[in-house]
A and B are shown apart, each in its own frame.
Chain A
Amino acid sequence: MGIATGLRAAAQGVSFLPIAGFQGSDLVAALGLKTVRDPYTDQEFVAVPRLQPDWAIVHVPEADMSGNARIYGSPFWDRLMARAARRTIVTAERIVPREELARQPERTTVPEVLVAAVVEAPSGAWPGSCYPLYQVDYPAVERYLSALDDDTAFAAYLADEPGLAARRADLATTARLADEAAASERRLSAPPAVEDETNQPGPATLVRTLGDAARG
């Protein structure tokens, strides 16, 4: 809550933003946060100072070579981080043609203007998940936890990335699933063919579109 507010202040170019909901928390004193009085209503709010990262690092399923990046599923805070940071590095499961993202520009989470570098990094979120390509690799997370106790084991962990080669082999076979998921999302969010003059998707249209998609 406080972090997102600090990032929002950075993204909006202001030095702080007021926030509701922090009142009564010991965190206000622990973080040394000050309050600000609303000049219109005289209400008091906690003021969260700008939090501007030098870099935002985001991993995405798809990006083009210029850094336009698309996320499937929740963007979490990635969209905000890219706008708050001075510059962004995108790592992507796969690099796709610009035209593919341009067909649905509203699905681009991070635009290229914010991006300094793009890295093609298959399995780049491993041992975590990357929707819709792969789930969390829990045994690999446990292997990480078991490599922490001595420096030699941890150095070996970083050097060898145990399990990553196998993970990448799996990824090749799941690329097809990603294509199917992407095609499905395109169907779901494509402008519906409605006949009314406003051409706006109403609830009935949405249900019809979802039904069409479900029927394949």
Chain B
Amino acid sequence: MIDKRVALSQAARLVPDGATVAFGGSLLHRFPGAFARELARQERHGLHFVKPSPGYDLDLLCRAGAVDEATVGIATMEAGLGMLPSFRSRAERGILQVHEHA
């Protein structure tokens, strides 16, 4: 049995700039929020973000300038909270390449 426990900051350092990362969870449920914030604090750049139904996690990484490319299906905060403002802004300005799936 291998002990693979590391600190959050160490785990985030495993993901280099430019990596393709798939985030678990769905919309506002069970997404790796602490991990997303740590990537943002470490000023990661050029990530390709993959998730069928991202929300807060994708938006936060867009706001932090960490994501250049996103492969997503539905991307929203959920009812009552609206769209993902940072994701939308970067897509509209052409600095985020979006691959939209159903």
A and B: interacting chains:
yes
Chain B residues within 8 Å of chain A by Cβ, number: 54
Known: A25-B102, A121-B8, A125-B29. A57 touches B21 (CB 8 A): yes
B56 touches A129 (CB 8 A): no
Most B CB atoms within 10 A — which of A57, A120, A130?
A57
* B84 vs chain A, min Cβ distance (A): 10
Contacts of B40 on A, CB cut-off 8 Å? 158
Q: Are B35 and A121 in contact (CB under 8 A)?
A: yes
Residue among A74, A91, A130, A159 with most chain B CB within 10 A = A91
A198 to chain B, nearest CB (A): 35
Q: How far is the CA of A116 from the CA of B14 in the complex (A)?
A: 9
Given known contacts A118-B4, A121-B8, A141-B81, A55 and B19 CB-to-CB distance under 8 angstroms: yes
Bound together, the chains give a CA A104 to CA B28 distance in angstroms of: 28
Whether A141 touches B56, Cβ cut-off 8 Å, given contacts A3-B71, A76-B29, A124-B32, is: yes
A123 close to B34 (CB less than 8 A): yes
* A119-B6, A128-B33 given; A53·B21 CB < 8 A: yes
- Shortest distance in angstroms between B54's beta carbon and chain A's nearest beta carbon? 10
* A128 and B55 contact, CB distance less than 8 A: yes
Residue interface mask A1-26, B partner, CB < 8 A = 1: 11110110000000000000110010
Name B70-98 residues within 8 Å CB distance of A: 71-73, 77-78, 80-81, 85-86
- Chain A residues within 8 Å of B, Cβ to Cβ: 1-4, 6-7, 21-22, 25, 27, 30-31, 51-60, 64-67, 71, 73-74, 76-78, 81, 84-85, 87, 89, 91, 95, 98, 112, 115-121, 123-131, 136, 138, 141-142, 144-145, 148, 154, 158-159, 161
